[in-house]
Structure 1
């Protein structure tokens, strides 16, 4: 029998490794603690840092916990956990997270960028499936003409999603592919155009220049395009993902993030560090390898799932 899981259930299952390292460690600390004394605070700080939450984020949370501790003689384990959840929610509250407003343009053009191995092409397939399930007409463009087998990989995923593809020969000009895809999207009355760009190292200047050229060609043909530039970050890369994001921002106006492979890492705390340092919304998160394992990011549900 096919069972439809709630977002909370999917998150709780997908975040199991982070839960095991971070939250179970926190539970161990608070359950043997008698309030928030200095020893307990230091142990909590260590657990938060181990999840790759980042020094600045952890310092902010610890400052608030110390303030609460000084205002109360004794806090129960439940109260400590409640305060911690409140502070984590606060860390994510400054940015409007969640799915892209694809209904605001037709076609709504999404350029997807990221380093090789982050799960960029897979994410495009999952996004195509997600939008198709919302009864949107989707087209994907294989503008990654740099990597061997990139078109074939995207072709597999677009078949799974049941959408059309625009591609060219290996080595073709990616900007020309993007141009052809946009013309096709307009003539076919497509709702969403997803553009796969070459997975590039943030250190490769020529590839970064190529990315800027693709976006310039799109803008010339359609005012405001691309409507979204999504950067795909592998949660397992930890703090290196932040370095990637900062470099990509120099080549393209990144306005949303997809954090992938959260199911495969114990360092899910990177989510908080990314939001604090980049001040960018997380639009979607990847929780597995199946086509429906991409979910819109809901901060409160994410934190609730961590502590379940």
Structure 2
């Protein structure tokens, strides 16, 4: 009996121990703070989503307000470049390097007390150093020697006038420098922009677009330099700034197809001028030059190309002439755009290009700004080189 009571007591104790081991932990957990529940977030679409719980002790950043449809669709501000009339005269200060060598340097030599053989040789050297070219230099010096001998006087005003006339004549004052950008009854005018890599061709194409817009033309751009995605994006940016559409295609697409599509789009939208930027070509790469010829042939399925502008870097000097000759053979260049003329003392390259090729310089770049490109005018150019005439303020 005594053993029975002991056994019952042991069972009771074990039961009580088990009860406390099961109940007490649950009570402690119930007294702790409950887990945070996920708060619903309502999006503007009306769907309800579950936001992740916030970490304790950290502040949650406020989400920025979502862009409205009106803000997302807002077009960039359209720029309106000033008309180009007189732009070259306004940019005359950019020609200071060429002015010192080709202009004022010659005036200083011509004003020497004695115009002997040594002085005339220095005049020749100045012209050659300025990249005028041998043939043009010989002609200019011969005319100057004859005129100074006949006139028998060398006042500052007369010397300046005499030199200005010779330089203007050498620049080809009678050349047609107008841009053929007038639309045809059934289609826009088409301009091809060609040139070697590194000449600033795509940037120049964008500046030409601004020149046309400034003079009242509506423009569409064709990004046919499909080998460089950066060039396509760059051209599109130039177009957006003046409200011009850009026809583009994925990288590596046939440039001729892009050029064709650009003209077709120009016909549909009835713009005045389609301006096509082509891939930069090295003049010794026959295959690439053949491809450029293909671009021209495909574009002309719509009609003849009205203008083919060759972009030349003025700082390349006489090397640019070899480039120009090859391009002329392939695509019949009708005009030259001379860039970086403000950064070189060799302003005579204008004379050399025209005399060698018989192709007029139609536009010149005189700075880095978007509107630092000007229609070329021989008289204004020479006036900028020589400085103000004597007796003017």
Equivalent residue, structure 1, for 2:19: none
In structure 2, the CA distance between the partners of 1:35 and 1:69, relative to structure 1 (3 Å rule), is farther
The CA deviation at 1:79 is: 2.4
Question: Structure 2 vs 1, CA of residues 26 and 64 (structure 1 numbering), >3 Å: closer, same or farther?
Answer: same
Tell me what 2:124 maps to: 45
Structure 1 match to 2:380? 301
Name structure 2 gaps, 5 residues minimum.
Answer: 1-81, 388-393
Summarize the Cα distance change of 1:67–1:303 in structure 2 as closer, same or farther, 3 Å threshold: same
Note the C-alpha offset of 1:306: 0.9
Question: Would you say the 8 A contact 2:87–2:375 is kept in 1?
Answer: no
Among 165, 172, 176, the residue aligned to 2:246 = 165
Structure 1 position 269 matched with structure 2 position 348: yes
> Structure 1 residues 8 and 253, CA, compared in 2 at 3 Å: closer, same or farther?
closer
1:235 aligns with 2:319: no
Q: Is the 2:89–2:380 Cα contact (8 Å) retained in structure 1?
A: no
| Deviation by residue 1:46-84 (Cα, 9 ceiling, x = unmatched) | 211111111111111011112223324443343233222
- The TM-score, its normalising length taken from structure 1, stands at 0.92
Which residue number in structure 2 is paired with residue 10 of structure 1?
90
What's 1:71 paired with? 150
> Which stretch of the first structure deviates more once superposed, 126-135 or 288-297?
126-135
Structure 2 equivalent of residue 138 of structure 1: 219
Report how far residue 28 of structure 1 moved.
Answer: 2.9
CA distance in 2, matches of 1:173, 1:95: 40
Larger radius of gyration: 2
Cα distance in 1 between the residues matched to 2:335 and 2:216: 23
Q: Give CA-to-partner distance per residue, 1:107-148, whole Å, 9 cap, x none.
A: 010000000111211111111112222332210000011234
SS of the residue aligned with 1:176?
A: helix
1:191 aligned partner: 272
Q: What are the superposed Cα offsets for residues 92-117 of structure 1, whole Å, 9 maximum, x if unpaired?
A: 23652423032253401000000011
Count, aligned residues: 303
Q: Shift of the alpha carbon at 1:250? A: 1.5
Structure 2 CA distance for aligned equivalents of residues 84 and 35 of structure 1: 17
Which structure is higher in RCO with an 8 Å CA cutoff and minimum separation 6?
1
Deviations 1:164-215 (A, max 9, x none): 1001111100010011111100001111100000001111111100111111
| 1:30-55 deviations in Å (ceiling 9; x for gaps) | 34x12533232222112111111111
Q: Does 1:220 align with 2:301?
A: yes
Distance 1:247 1:263, change over 3 A: same
TM-score by length of 2: 0.73
CA contact (8 A) 1:143 1:174 kept: yes
Q: Deviations over 1:210-231 (max 9, x none)?
A: 1111110111222x2x111110
Is the CA contact 1:30–1:77 (under 8 Å) kept in the aligned structure 2? no
Residue 308 of structure 2 contacts residue 332 of structure 2 at CA under 8 Å; is this kept in 1?
yes
Q: Cα distance 1:210–1:137, how it changes in 2: closer, same or farther (>3 A)?
A: same
Contact residue 99 and residue 297 of structure 1 kept, 8 A: no
Counterpart of 1:84 in structure 2 is 163
Partners of 1:161 and 1:141 lie apart in 2 by 15
State the alpha-carbon separation in 2 of the partners of residues 279 and 65 from structure 1: 23
Task: State the SS of the aligned residue for 2:220.
Answer: strand
